[in-house]
Amino acid sequence: MGDRPSSPPGSVDSDREGDPIVELIPLIRRVVAARVRDYQLVDDLVQETLARVMAARHRIERDTLAPYAVTTARNLIIAVGQGTDRARRKAHLLVDGAADPPADHDLLQEEETSLVGLALARLSPAERDVLLAHEVEGTGTAELAARREVSPGAIAAQLNRTRAKLRVEYLLADGAVVPPTDRCRPVLFALSTGDRRRQRELDTAGHLLECDCCLELSVTLFDRRPPVEVADEARVRVTVDADVVTARQKGREIAARAGFTPTELTVIATAISEIARNIVKFAHRGEIVIRMIDEPARCGVTVVARDAGPGIADVSDAMQDGYSTYRGLGLGLPGARRLMDEFDVASEIGKGTTVTMAKWRNRPAAIPSKMTSEGPPR
Amino acid sequence: MLRIGGYLIASLHTGLDDGQLASFRRAIVDEVGRGETRGVVIDLGAVDVLDSFACFAVWQITQMVGLRGADTVVVGVAPDVAFAMVKLGVDLGNARTAADVDEGLNVLQLHPHADPGTRPGCSVRQITGKAACRW
């Protein structure tokens, strides 16, 4: 650790009271270890933090030593992260030209601080207290839980929710956006927390079809989340022609997992293509969700295509061959119905259209459990 | 797009959008005007799905090429795609078809200006004695 400095001016009389710096070590270690995986790097960062705190201890009051140490540790972590990124990006260059922070760095920091302040102001006092205690003062969840007589898990969950809320408020403050409807904030919050059940309850996807403001913000909120591979489902946003191809390729992939034959896959892809083109031509924006169903009673795919477009005035008309509002071609609905096993259209003028289709396999997906070493059951 | 003597071979790729299709159509029709073009082979081998939009687009090309005095043969429709097309209820109008590019050129060279009333594929089977599509 190195020798303790011998009575620098203004320092606390450390021998008798127990060195406050030493007392900080567990706190710093916990803060760093929570954010950095590599244990050697954790050690290095703890050392560096302590060194800096020790260097500055003569001008810091005892009460603020802990927050100072926590902030120093976190800044170091960020700097290391940025340094690693930059090193990786510029590994091939001989001279790193961007070593100095850009000129507007301070201005941006100031702006960001005020935005964070605005966002924090929108939290409830209780939420804000817990968040600041944890993030700024470095209080652990166990202690926060004990103080409030709840479980540490509850505190951790509350912190996640508070962070999610902060993200939303920060983005709103950053864009100086006022959400147009009452639905917006709950939807954005559900997206920020990544709570799929809540998203389904609120029908966030439906809201995003109607609300441009939330759609833009959702892009940033989605970027944050780690990609979740749900193997049995694909969601494709459909706005341009290229999305038609994406939708039918994803459809093929999901349907392939259900075990359809190549011919059936092409049939399903064709049906998806017809419906997707409808969305592009008439609704301009929509979403297609392809799901694989693998249950004992049935195995296959469902395709739900919905849009917030003009709607279809008379569905029965549209379901007749040759009915068209465009270019001499039909709307593709009767065709898609012929290709699939189940087909349903729900539409409301001015609200939008939802097409639901399904195709089932004739044979089960799983290997029959009665298969024995003697061969298939007779 | 390839040119072999008086014949053009044009391959359609999957995932064409309106804009690309328009340029493709334009390119073929322009090229037909250059020199003595007797026929065009449209190769659909790289297309994964022929929905009503794509079929209509192919039909448009055959019509436009016909107006410019050349024949069209559509080749390369995969068996799966053909099955889906039939189930969907679309066809390529009165465009003639053949199994692949070679057969397509064959058809154009040996049997120009087919009767517009014939159904696609039938004329080839009758005349060449071979199956028009390999299933």
ipTM given for this complex: 0.79
Which residue would you say has higher pLDDT here, A331 or A143?
A143
Q: In this complex, which of B17, B51, B79 lies closest to A270 when CB atoms are compared?
A: B51
- pLDDT of amino acid A150: 85
Which residue would you say has higher pLDDT here, A336 or B132?
A336
| 319-338 of A, contacting B, C-beta below 8 A | 321, 327-330, 332, 334-336, 338
Give the model's confidence band at A321: pLDDT under 50 very low, under 70 low, under 90 confident, else very high. low
Q: Which residue, A324, A239, A121, is CA-closest to B17? A: A239
- Give me the helices (H) in chain A, please: 14-17, 20-35, 39-56, 65-89, 105-121, 125-135, 141-148, 152-175, 184-193, 196-202, 204-210, 212-224, 241-257, 262-278, 315-318, 333-339
| CB–CB contact A335 B18 (8 Å) | no
| CB–CB contact B49 A332 (8 Å) | no
What is the pLDDT averaged over residues A167-189? 87
Task: Look up residue A242 and give its DSSP letter.
Answer: H
| Predicted TM-score (pTM) of this structure | 0.58
- pLDDT of amino acid A330: 58
What is the pLDDT averaged over residues A216-238? 74
A138-147, A215-224, B18-27: range with lowest mean pLDDT: A215-224
Please report, in angstroms and rounded to a whole number, the separation of the first and last CA atoms in chain B: 27
What is the pLDDT averaged over residues A91-114? 68
Question: Is pLDDT of A115 > 90?
Answer: no
Q: In this complex, which of B15, B50, B83 lies closest to A263 when CB atoms are compared?
A: B83
| CB–CB contact B48 A321 (8 Å) | no
- pLDDT of amino acid A224: 57
Chain A partners within 8 Å of B87 (Cβ): 267, 338-339
Give the model's confidence band at A369: pLDDT under 50 very low, under 70 low, under 90 confident, else very high. very low
CA distance A145 to chain B (A): 56
Cα–Cα–Cα angle for A17, A20, A23, rounded to 5 degrees:
110
CA distance B87 to chain A (A): 6
**Cβ of A67 under 8 Å from any chain B Cβ?**
no
Question: Is pLDDT of A48 > 50?
Answer: yes
- Give the count of alpha carbons within 13 A of A55, CB side only: 7
CA distance B71 to chain A (A): 23
Q: In this complex, which of B15, B19, B49 lies closest to A266 when CB atoms are compared?
A: B49
What is the pLDDT averaged over residues A100-129? 79
Chain A interface test: which of B52, B55, B83, B135 (most A C-beta within 10 Å): B52
The average confidence (pLDDT) of chain B is 78
Q: In this complex, which of B51, B56, B87 lies closest to A338 when CB atoms are compared?
A: B87
- pLDDT of amino acid B118: 41
Give the model's confidence band at A242: pLDDT under 50 very low, under 70 low, under 90 confident, else very high. confident
